[in-house]
Structures are given as structure tokens and as C-alpha cells.
Amino acid sequence: MSSSTRFPLARGGPTLFRNRYLILALAILAVTLYRLWYSTQLELVGDEAYYWLWSRRLDLAYLDKGPVIAWFIAAGTALFGQTPFGIRFFAVILSTATGIGIFLLARRLFSDRVGFWTLLLAGLAPMFAVGSILMTIDTALICFWTFAALAFWWAKDSTRLFPWIVTGLLVGLSTLSKYTGAMELISFALFCLWFAPSRKQLLNGRFLLLLLVVGLCLVPVIYWNWQHQWPTLRFLTHRGALDEKAHIRPLDVLTFVGGQAGVISPVVFIALMVVLFWPSLKTADDNGQSRFLLSLFLPLFLLYFFLSFQKASQANWPAAAYVGGFIFLAAKWDLLMQRVRWARWLAVAGLAVALIETVGLQETRWLNLPPGKDPLDRARGASDLAAQVSALETGSGPKVVIANAYMTAALLSFYLPGQPDVYMPLSSAPYNQLILWPTYRDVHPHDDAIFVSETNRVPNSLREDFPSIQPAKLLTVTQDGRTIRKLYAFVCRRVDHKDIETSLNRE
């Protein structure tokens, strides 16, 4: 059956529906324009502000990631200013490109119909919907991962070197977005081992060329780490709890699985598990389509699944795996709907639940959830916090701000007047990029400071530098009359005022 007859909008419809690609393009354009508008309605989340700091200090690499996200933010802010829209502009563009790439890959592997349903799945999945607006590393990773998969499917049947070079460049950009992008090389190798006609690609030098191109892309990252005594390796080991004694935490595994169900929608996740473990549900696989999609999905998903026995991974970490997972689900479920009636109703239910979740995430204030329970609270209150800290600066005199958390420091840096550098207390290990940059000791060795913290406690490194630290002032962060969170602010002075008074009295 040709792809043109399998596209759902083309079945017996009026003449207008025959222009299915034009309709699809207009729908994608409308969604893109909505996302560009909506990106201006939320304040920055901590991750975005953190990566914005990177864009102000462009470098070959950073502590835990490559430089790609900093490049995109620097380009966006150069075009549209140091604003949330400038930071998020390329997030929306990359997400639109990802949707197009997913459709093209599904269409190339199966049909227009599967491409349409896959695009719908990706567009309604809460994780992908949120990622389409916020400028995070997963946005760039998933885009380059998708087009690398499309390029590899082209390269595997080609005798030319150019498709392999293109694939290598895309995997390189994916890895420079987030280091888990390199897992796609394992996916490609697994497919070649699993699918006999492509096994020769591992031995004829083309796959080696692919690896060489990716390696060349990573040379700047390796050089940067060599310059800084390899902090990335220490960070990633700590992040995955691999520096802790081996243990098994069953609850963390359940947390990981539950998190996956939440971020892609519970019914969709269950449906994906069903088709994964339904061996009799086979698609036409003359060219290894199913094995290719499983090779894209399983290595990355299983990596984080097994790591969750040590420590629960964050729900978004396996995000790129769902590029293959969604196409696999759409292709298999399309067959299942032809066999059993309940499959169609479950598909409708799954898409409806995903739609409700995604629409609900657009505005949550009406739920009036407690502080910390509303998922959009991450994108609220930063400007109010900055206004309170700025007022405290004016009233007490210090012009240096220090925060106990790197996201708080980044948000304050963005929203404080003049967008100044905000620092962190010195720590024993560089678990965020701010520690690797010049500290307040380097830049402001004699200046008083305001310390902002989530807890009513001052670290020892600050007590060493500031003999006089006033009792905490409670900062209640609100938006639209609703409390978002509470923090503490300490005025820290280099000279103890009591010592000054004693000295004056002696004179």
C-alpha cells in the first residue's frame, strides 16, 4: 500500500485533503507560532538561566555539557536581546525541526500514516511539549539525535562516504548538546550487528569514518577537560551516584518507571510496553525497520533503567530514546488497531489523556496547589525574588550577591537590575559551572555581600570571609498573590561593626 493512500486525512476526503502535506505544514506553523508566543508568558526556569550564564562566557565546553546550548542561546539573545524570548527562540525552532524530522523518519521507515501518528504522539507527550518551549539541553539533543537517525538510515544503504560524514556530524552535535548523545553510536552498532545485511558496515571502514568524525567533534571538549583537570568525568560519576557504594534501591526503580509514565503520559507508556512485549505483533521488516527502532530505544532507556537501581534517574534523561520508541509504537499500534477493536479505543484514550496533561501544563494557577507541588512554579517568582534582593541591596549597602544554589544564582543574575554576576559559596568539588569561574573572593575580595539561601544556615566558607553576618531576613516569593517559595537573605560584612565601634571608642 502506498504512503499516499495510508495517510489518514487522505481517505475519501474532499479535494482540500489531498494537499495533506500543505495541511500538515500549516498545522506545524500554527503550533510553532503559538509556542513562540507562549514562550514569553513564563519566567525562566533555573536550568535556562544557568545555560544563559554559559552563553555570556562562550567556551569550548562546560563542566557537565558541551557548548551547543550556549551557542544557541548566544545566537537567540544576539537577535532578540537578553530576554526570555531571546533565550527560548531556538528552543521552539529546534522543536519544530524535531517534529519534522520525526515525521520524515517514520515516513521513510513505514508510511505517511505512521509518520502522522508519531508526530501526534510526540507533540502531545508532556515531556516533549514542555521541551518545545524551554531552552534545555534535551531540546538540542533530541533534534540532532532525530536527524542523525534519519541520516544513518540513508547512509547504511549508500556506498558513498558523504552520508556517513553527515551522520557523524549530527551525532557529534548531539553529543556536544548532551554527552548521552554518544549512545546513538551504540544504537547504530547494535543495529548493524542485529540486521545481517548491514553487518558489513562495521567492517568496511564506513562505520570507522563515522566514529572518526564524532571523535573530531569532541576534540575541543577533551582539550577543555585537559585544561581543567578533567572535571566532567568527576561530575558525571557523582551525578550518576557511581562514586557511592554499589547498592540496590527498588523504590528508585519504581520512581524511574513512574516518572517515565508521567512524562510521556501513562496510557502511552503502557501501550509502548505492550507492543515491546508482544512478539507476534510484527510489521513488515524487510529492511530491518523494527530492529532499527528498537536499537534507538533500548540502549538509552535500559542504561537509565539499570542506573536507577543505584539512584533514580531524572525523568527527562531518556528523552531521546522515545524518538525510536514513539515510531515503534505508532507502527505496531497501527497494526493492532486493524486486528482488535479495543486497541482503537485505547489509542483514543491515550491521546486524550496526553492532550489533557499537555493542555493542563499550559496554565496551572487555577489548581491553587501548595508551594513546590505546582510544576509551573519553576517558572514563577524569580522576578519577585530579584526585586526583594535588589531592595535589600539598596537598604543595606552591599552590591555583591551570593546564592547557595546555582539555579538561584543564575535566576538572580538574569532578573537583578543590570544582570550582574551572582556567585556561590566555595565548595570542595566543582558540581556546577559557577565554581570553575572566578569567585567572589577573586572579583570582590573586600566587598560586603548578600547571601540568599533556601535554608536558614550560612556555610563555613562564608563565615571565614565575612566576620559579621546579620540574622536572616525571610523572603516570601509570590506571584499573583500566591506564595511560590520562601528563602532567607543574610547581610554579610567583611568587617564586624562591633570591632569598628570599639576601635572608635579607643580613639
pTM for the full predicted model: 0.89
Looking at residue 4, its pLDDT comes to 39
Return phi, psi of residue 339, to 5°.
-100, -40
Distance between CA atoms of residues 426 and 235, nearest Å: 16
Q: Which residues contact 501 (CB under 8 A, 6 or more apart)?
A: none
Span 101-156, pLDDT tens digits: 999 999 999 999 899 999 999 998 888 888 899 999 999 999 999 999 999 999 99
Model confidence at 481, pLDDT cuts 50, 70, 90, reads: confident
C-alpha cell at 10: 487522505
Looking at residue 507, its pLDDT comes to 47
CA angle 236-260-253, nearest 5°?
65
Mean pLDDT over 414-421 rounds to 96
C-alpha cell at 305: 533503567
Mean pLDDT over 257-264 rounds to 88
Model confidence at 32, pLDDT cuts 50, 70, 90, reads: very high
- For the chain, the domains span 3-360, 377-506
Highest mean pLDDT of the ranges 12-21, 173-182, 337-346 = 173-182
Cβ pair 294, 97 in contact under 8 A = no
Mean pLDDT over 421-446 rounds to 87
Query: Mapping DSSP to helix (H, G, I), strand (E, B) and coil, where does residue 313 land?
Result: coil
DSSP 348-368: HHHHHHHHHHHHHTT--GGG-
Span 124-137, pLDDT tens digits: 888 888 889 999 99
Give counts: helices (H), strands (E), the chain: 23, 5
Looking at residue 247, its pLDDT comes to 63
Looking at residue 496, its pLDDT comes to 63
Cα dihedral 374, 376, 380, 382 sign: positive
Span 215-250, pLDDT tens digits: 999 999 999 999 988 888 877 776 655 556 666 777
Distance between CA atoms of residues 126 and 121, nearest Å: 10
Span 281-338, pLDDT tens digits: 665 566 789 999 999 999 999 999 988 887 767 888 899 999 999 999 999 888 888 7
